[in-house]
């Protein structure tokens, strides 16, 4: 789960991580008020969307405007906010369709001597979080990694104890911090690690971290993603979630306990298990078709879940045929067969439906489908299923 | 021979009185697995599926002699269940539970390693040595005993692969589901080391997917040190970057972890990579025929 920059900064402030003073607002008038309250010569107005590259991003309605702009008066803050709010910001990460800006952050401007990169992620190989640091901040870390990998430093974080003092000292040396900078880092870096661990983050990125004139570190930007698996112990995440930033069908699927990702093809897929679901997409492509989605009904799908899965699949107007591919392990084939019939009757499936069943109680499952009298095309194996669904889809398209 | 589990493995089910724990304990018993007991705090002294239930793993180990744990405990308590099993001396842990917070696994894995225990999963289908011991949720009947080791990050895709092998007459020595989470207890390389030393295993089928670099590490190991034929399939060639494809670990980030990269390094390591998921079994056959 992703949150906005202003939310991430509020969270970091609770860990006494230095962040610029600022306010998130939803109207141009409130932006002017926020500027007055900051009582500074210059402020920055930053569009709040769940995507990076905002500073270089431009608005679909006015390509001269950027997603981050410096302002010097309440009037300018108001005009700038008006040019952002309700408009579509397109960045390298949003795709060409962009995102509508619903909030802007008005923040005290700050100058620094240098910009650093600091980020925490879970390192799969080490099996623990790792703090990634570079003196080359303000650009994407992937760019630095590709150009100068030796400029990136890694310190593993003990998931019980956090970041140790000696690790801070090592990093301070490598980053070229002076005495004041090292003193600031001694609080700043362990606080980031503590936030990452306590808040169940999957990503925490401060890019850039500014080194101010007096040597102190300041989080000029902030990006936080949470580990969805930990949601049960963070009821406060419900408040932080912004459904406007998510694909509506994906939200709906998640609510039903399904895993769904919309793609741009025309063959809908309903599969149990993530690996098999991905492979089913690959298989369709290999046979000349285009998958419309990834959909994993999981291990214990019941009638309501499968019904909802069909509704979600068929809500995509581009879907011309559906492939159900089930290999029963936890899920019995009889369960899926009954669920398919119930869903078919409830939802009213109006496109060709190819079903391939294998696994636990497969014979009984196939019999249930055969006796149902429904217009279901049975497939015997993967290749057979792919050929049949691609043929059915092509026939539907040309009809 | 086989790896990890065999006819003598005495299995304990943690979370045996839950719906999934109960159902799969029954299935494992039917398959012939020696399930000697279960653990659910507060339910000690009762029976489930004909086996005794204990309040603690320690009691189960003392009374029933369990040496492997099959864990169905729900996510909020799963990490604790792992620590309890390790504390009680269990050295083979199979964690089926899906949805355990990633940092919980980061916290318990150092304890598992320090104890010299081996953990498979979480979020995995389990481990099976055909005709001897099934610890997990895979349908038993698709397996047949034979010379192929199977290692996979997936669940149902593994069943698909095993089914293809069985239909081609290629039985399996042991099949292991590593799990689909970002932090898992065992890697492809860990299991390849065991298969290298197992005389029954003549070849290995790897089933990987997008995300991370476990396949790349396996490729390096295979190229330099693994003596037996290997075939592979990588799921997710059509997956868009930045999107989590079901499994928490299946996401292409920063252009890293793509199927194309993994397929390339596996090919370079001499692995026969199947283009289609329908071709996994046949790829294994080709790898065996080509030899190594």
Residue of B183, B259, B277 with shortest CB distance to A124:
B183
> Which of A278, A283, A333 to mutate to test binding with chain B, by most B CBs within 10 Å of its CB?
A278
Instruction: Please report residues of A whose CB lies closer than 8 A to that of B247.
Output: 274-275
Are the Cβ atoms of B155 and A299 closer than 8 angstroms? yes
Burial A51-85 (b: 16+ CB within 10 A, else e): bbebeebbbeeeeebbbbbebeebebbbbbbbbbb
Query: Does the interface predicted TM-score (ipTM) exceed 0.95?
Result: no
Segment B10-23 mean pLDDT? 96
pLDDT tens sequence across B186-241: 999 999 999 999 999 999 999 999 988 899 999 999 999 999 999 999 999 998 88
Sheet holding A376-379, edge to edge: A259-262, A293-296, A267-271, A321-328, A353-359, A376-379
Active site residues of B: 247
Q: Which of B190, B206, B191, B192 is nearest to B274 (CA)?
A: B206
Angstrom distance (rounded) from CA B246 to CA A281 = 13
Angstrom distance (rounded) from CA B284 to CA A198 = 45
Angstrom distance (rounded) from CA A25 to CA A41 = 19
If pLDDT is split at 50, 70 and 90, which confidence band does A268 have? very high
pLDDT tens sequence across A172-219: 999 999 999 999 999 999 999 999 999 999 999 999 999 999 999 999
Instruction: Please report residues of B whose CB lies closer than 8 A to that of A299.
Output: 98, 137, 155
If pLDDT is split at 50, 70 and 90, which confidence band does A299 have? low
A22–chain B nearest CA distance, Å: 30
Residue B247 predicted with pLDDT over 80: no
If pLDDT is split at 50, 70 and 90, which confidence band does A300 have? low
Q: What's the confidence (pLDDT) of residue B155? A: 87
Residue of A122, A286, A327 with shortest CB distance to B183:
A122
Q: Which of A24, A4, A79, A233 is nearest to B75 (CA)?
A: A233
Residue of B103, B247, B254 with shortest CB distance to A274:
B247
Residue of A142, A271, A285 with shortest CB distance to B255:
A142
Q: What's the confidence (pLDDT) of residue A332? A: 80
Least confident of A113-117, A303-307, B71-75, B179-183: A303-307
Segment B12-33 mean pLDDT? 96
Residue B171 predicted with pLDDT over 90: yes
Are the Cβ atoms of A382 and B160 closer than 8 angstroms? yes
Residue A203: which H helix or E strand, with range? strand A201-211
Instruction: Please report residues of A whose CB lies closer than 8 A to that of B213.
Output: 124-125
A329–chain B nearest CA distance, Å: 5
The overall average pLDDT reported for chain A is 93
Segment B5-26 mean pLDDT? 95
* φ, ψ (nearest 5 deg) of residue B118: -120, 130
Instruction: Please report residues of A whose CB lies closer than 8 A to that of B245.
Output: 259, 261, 274, 277-278, 294
Q: What's the confidence (pLDDT) of residue B143? A: 96
Query: Residue B95: is the preceding peptide bond cis (ω within 30°)?
Result: no
Residue A378 predicted with pLDDT over 90: yes
Strand, coil or helix: B33: coil
pLDDT tens sequence across A58-111: 999 999 999 999 999 999 999 999 999 999 999 988 888 899 999 999 999 888
């Amino acid at each position: 789960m992703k949150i906005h920059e202003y939310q991430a900064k509020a969270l970091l402030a609770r860990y006494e991580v230095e962040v610029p003073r600022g306010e998130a607002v939803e109207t141009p008038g409130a932006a002017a008020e926020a500027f007055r309250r900051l009582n500074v010569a210059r402020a920055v107005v930053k569009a709040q969307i769940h995507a990076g590259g905002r500073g270089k991003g431009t608005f679909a309605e006015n390509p001269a405007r950027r997603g981050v702009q410096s302002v010097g008066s309440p009037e300018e803050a108001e005009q700038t906010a008006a040019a952002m709010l309700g408009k579509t910001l397109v960045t390298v990460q949003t795709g060409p369709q962009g995102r509508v800006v619903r909030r802007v952050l008005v923040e005290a401007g700050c100058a620094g001597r240098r910009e650093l990169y600091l980020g925490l992620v879970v390192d799969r190989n080490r099996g623990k979080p790792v703090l990634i640091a570079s003196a080359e901040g303000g650009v994407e870390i992937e760019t630095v990694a590709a150009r100068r990998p030796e400029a990136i430093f890694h310190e593993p974080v003990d998931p019980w104890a956090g970041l140790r003092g000696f690790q801070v000292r090592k990093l301070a040396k490598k980053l070229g911090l002076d005495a004041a900078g090292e003193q600031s880092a001694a609080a700043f870096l362990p606080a980031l690690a503590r936030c990452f661990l306590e808040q169940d983050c999957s990503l925490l990125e401060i890019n850039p971290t500014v080194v101010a004139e007096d040597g102190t570190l300041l989080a000029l930007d902030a990006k936080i993603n949470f580990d969805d698996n930990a949601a049960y112990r963070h009821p406060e995440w419900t408040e932080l979630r912004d459904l406007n930033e998510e694909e509506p069908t994906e939200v709906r699927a998640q609510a039903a306990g399904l895993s769904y990702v919309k793609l741009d093809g025309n063959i809908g897929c309903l599969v149990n298990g993530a690996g098999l679901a991905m492979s089913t997409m690959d298989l369709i492509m290999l046979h000349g078709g285009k998958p419309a989605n990834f959909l994993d009904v999981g291990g214990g799908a019941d009638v309501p879940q499968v019904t909802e899965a069909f509704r979600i699949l068929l809500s995509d107007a581009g879907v011309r045929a559906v492939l159900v591919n089930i290999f029963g392990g936890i899920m019995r084939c009889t369960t899926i067969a009954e669920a398919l019939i119930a869903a078919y009757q409830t939802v009213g499936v109006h496109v060709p439906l190819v079903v391939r069943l294998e696994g636990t109680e497969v014979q009984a499952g196939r019999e249930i489908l055969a006796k149902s009298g429904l217009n279901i095309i049975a497939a015997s194996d993967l290749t057979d299923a792919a050929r049949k669904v691609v043929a059915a889809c092509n026939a539907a398209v040309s009809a | 021979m086989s790896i990890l589990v065999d006819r003598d493995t005495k299995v304990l089910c943690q979370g045996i009185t839950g719906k999934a724990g109960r159902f799969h304990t029954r299935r494992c018993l039917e398959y012939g697995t020696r399930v000697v007991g279960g653990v659910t705090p507060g339910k000690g002294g009762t029976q489930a599926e004909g086996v005794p239930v204990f309040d603690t793993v320690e009691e189960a180990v003392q009374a029933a002699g369990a040496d492997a744990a099959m864990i169905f405990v729900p996510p909020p308590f799963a990490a604790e269940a792992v620590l309890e099993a390790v504390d009680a001396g269990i050295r083979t842990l199979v964690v089926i539970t899906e949805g355990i917070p990633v940092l919980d696994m980061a916290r318990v894995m150092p304890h598992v390693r320090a104890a010299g225990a081996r953990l498979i999963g979480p979020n995995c289908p389990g481990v099976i040595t055909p005709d001897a011991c099934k610890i997990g949720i895979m349908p038993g009947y698709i397996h047949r005993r034979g010379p192929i080791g199977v290692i996979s990050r997936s669940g149902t895709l593994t069943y698909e692969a095993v089914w293809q092998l069985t239909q081609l007459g290629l039985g399996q020595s042991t099949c292991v589901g590593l799990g689909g989470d970002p932090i898992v207890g065992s890697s492809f390389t860990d299991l390849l080391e065991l298969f290298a030393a197992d005389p029954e295993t003549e070849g290995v089928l790897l089933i990987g997917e997008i995300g991370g670099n476990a396949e790349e590490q396996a490729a390096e190991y295979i190229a330099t040190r693994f003596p037996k034929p290997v075939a592979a399939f990588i799921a997710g060639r059509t997956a868009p970057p930045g999107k989590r494809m079901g499994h928490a670990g299946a996401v292409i980030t920063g252009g890293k972890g793509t199927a194309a990269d993994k397929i390339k390094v596996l090919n370079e390591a001499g692995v026969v990579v199947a283009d289609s998921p329908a071709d996994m079994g046949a790829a294994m056959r080709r790898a065996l025929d080509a030899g190594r």
